[in-house]
Structure 1
Amino acid sequence: MDDEIPRTMKALVGNRSMITRILNYACSSSSGDGVKVTTVPVPEIKDNEILVRVRCVAFNPTDFKHVDILSPRGAIIGCDYTGTVVRIGSKAPGNWAVGDRIAGWTHGGLYPDRGSFAEYLKIPGDLAWKVPSSVSDEEATTFGVSAVTAMLALNVRLGVPWIDDTGLAKGRFDSPILIYSGATSAGIYAIQLAKYAGLKVVTTASPRSHDFVKEYGADDVFDYRSSTAVVDIIRSYPNIKIAMDCFSEGGSIEFCAKVVRKNQGRVVTLLDPGTTMAAP
Structure 2
Amino acid sequence: MTLPAQISILQADGTGALATKKVPMPKLRDGYVLIRTTAVGLNPIDWKQLQQGTELGSKFGYDYAGIVEEIGPGVSKPFKKGDRIAGLANGGNGSEPEDGAYGEYSVVKAGLAFRIPENISDEEAAGLGVGIVTAAQGLYQSLKLPLPTHPASGPQSVLIYGGSTPTGILAIQLAKLSGLAVVTTSSAANMDYIRSFGPDAVFEYANADKCASDIRDFTAGHLRHALDCVSTPETARLCARALASEMETYYSALLRLPPEVVTSVNPKIQPAYTAAYTAFGEEITKWGRLIPAKLEDYEFAVMLLELVPHLLQEGKLKPVQPLVNQGGNGLVGVLKGLEDLKAGKVRAAKLIYTL
Aligned with 2:29: secondary structure? coil
How far did residue 126 of structure 1 move? 1.5
- Aligned CA distance change for structure 1 residues 181 and 171 (closer, same or farther; 3 Å): closer
Which position in structure 2 is the counterpart of 1:204?
185
Question: Does 2:13 correspond to 1:11?
Answer: no
Spell out the pairing of 1:22-171 with structure 2 (5 A cutoff).
Answer: 34-111=17-94, 112-164=97-149, 169-171=150-152
Which position in structure 1 is the counterpart of 2:226?
243
Question: Which whole-Å deviations, capped at 9, do the CAs of 1:11-68 have from their partners, x for residues lacking one?
Answer: 0111234xxx6xxxxxxxxxxxx11111111110123221111000000111111121
Contact 1:261/1:279 (<8 A) preserved = no
Which position in structure 1 is the counterpart of 2:241?
258
Task: Report runs of 4+ in structure 1 exceeding 4 Å deviation.
Answer: none
Which position in structure 1 is the counterpart of 2:159?
178
Whole-angstrom CA distance in 2 between matches of 1:10 and 1:95: 29
Alignment RMSD, CA only? 1.5
Whole-angstrom CA distance in 1 between matches of 2:101 and 2:235: 30
Contact 1:179/1:202 (<8 A) preserved = yes
Contact 2:34/2:106 (<8 A) preserved = yes
- Aligned CA distance change for structure 1 residues 14 and 154 (closer, same or farther; 3 Å): same
Contact 2:222/2:244 (<8 A) preserved = no
Which entry has the higher C-alpha Rg, 1 or 2? 1
How far did residue 71 of structure 1 move? 2.5
How far did residue 160 of structure 1 move? 1.9
Which position in structure 2 is the counterpart of 1:270?
254
How far did residue 184 of structure 1 move? 0.3
Which position in structure 2 is the counterpart of 1:231?
213
Contact 2:61/2:100 (<8 A) preserved = yes
Identical-residue share of aligned pairs (%): 33
Question: Which whole-Å deviations, capped at 9, do the CAs of 1:201-228 have from their partners, x for residues lacking one?
Answer: 1111111111111111111111112232
Residue identity opposite 1:269 in structure 2: A
Number of residue pairs the alignment of both structures matches? 259
With normalisation by structure 1, the TM-score equals: 0.88
Q: Bigger relative contact order, structure 1 or 2, given CA contacts below 8 A and separation 6+?
A: 2
